[in-house]
Structure 1
Amino acid sequence: MSLKGPIIAIEDDADDQFLLKSVIEELAIPNKLLFFGNGLEALLYLETTLEQPFVIICDINMPVMNGLELRSRIEQNDFLRKKSIPFVFFSTADNPQIIDKAYSSTIQGFFKKESNFDELKRRFRIIYDYWSCCLHPNNF
């Protein structure tokens, strides 16, 4: 994690991408925001970039490679595992079995994506503030 690194957002819905972009702008978060439409696109980027992302914000249900599959592939990759990029699910999926499965893959958080813009903004502020203050092996 790098405090100045990009926020990686894996989200296939254009409306949700717009909302997340709007939230980050309104909160005046300085990190660059990079969108990927599915887990495979994000994985290819993460495997080849030298950038140290700030955090990965990932939806669960996506085409090609879903969020759970992406998390599994990151954990299996020595290069990416050593980067220790915080990985947070941000999804409308709030099924207890999905949440349990997500946490069994060593994620750092699971947040419900709210339809209310102010609540969405509040949740993202919490995620951003937490990782901005958190000590992390790649901060040094």
Structure 2
Amino acid sequence: MTTPPSILFIDDDMIERMKFNRTVTSLGFENKIIEATNGEEALKILESKDSLPDIILLDLNMPRISGKEFLKILKSNETLKFIPTIVLTTSSNHKDLLECYKIGIAGYVLKPLKYEDYMKKISKVISYWNTNELIIL
């Protein structure tokens, strides 16, 4: 992959979306970021199929369609199920972790409280996916 993978970032919290964008920019990554404020909006973006994201970063605790419900819908779709989906959440609940991996996530990352720690984690996640070979849909 010559261009960095595009990222669909799904989080209902505006501050989290701003923090993620600021982090990606300040770390010098050139990934295209597509934002969705909830699972319902994300599904509409994915249904349009104009340009599917290469990876998805997903919060679990959201209104309308929760992160887990979104995952179940995503992984039941024959095309969309191949998009690597990484949960980015504050939930350290072991049950959530197990359930998400059973559904088929590619990773589960806890959001740290300190911004410096958040930057380090996001840097590692994006660096990994920028070097990973992805299926182009």
TM-score, normalised to structure 2's length?
Answer: 0.92
- Distance in 2 of aligned mates of 1:106 and 1:60: 14
- Distance in 1 of aligned mates of 2:64 and 2:48: 19
8 Å contact 1:10–1:59 — kept in the other structure?
yes
Per-residue Cα deviation, 1:5-43 (whole angstroms, up to 9, x for no partner): 421110001111111111011111111212111111001
Letter in 2 for 1:80: L
Partner SS for 2:79? helix
Partner SS for 2:86? strand
Q: Could you tell me how far 1:137 is from its partner in structure 2?
A: 3.1
8 Å contact 1:10–1:57 — kept in the other structure?
yes
Partner SS for 1:138? coil
Q: Could you tell me how far 1:134 is from its partner in structure 2?
A: 1.4
Q: Could you tell me how far 1:100 is from its partner in structure 2?
A: 0.7
Note the residue ranges of structure 2 that are not aligned, 5 or more in a row. Answer: none
In structure 2, the residue matched to 1:6 is 6
- Distance in 2 of aligned mates of 1:20 and 1:132: 16
Q: 2:134 aligns with which of 118, 133, 136?
A: 136
Pick which of 130-139 and 30-39 moved more.
130-139
In structure 2, the residue matched to 1:56 is 56
- Distance in 1 of aligned mates of 2:98 and 2:115: 27
Pick which of 23-32 and 60-69 moved more.
23-32
- Distance in 1 of aligned mates of 2:9 and 2:2: 15
Letter in 1 for 2:136: N
- Distance in 2 of aligned mates of 1:101 and 1:78: 20
- Please tell me the root mean square deviation across aligned C-alpha atoms, in Å: 1.8
TM-score, normalised to structure 1's length?
Answer: 0.90
Task: Please list, as runs of the form range in 1=range in 2, the aligned pairs for 1:1-140 lying within 5 A after superposition.
Answer: 3-81=3-81, 84-138=82-136
Q: How many residue pairs end up in the alignment?
A: 137
8 Å contact 2:60–2:66 — kept in the other structure?
yes
Q: Could you tell me how far 1:3 is from its partner in structure 2?
A: 4.4
8 Å contact 1:4–1:54 — kept in the other structure?
no
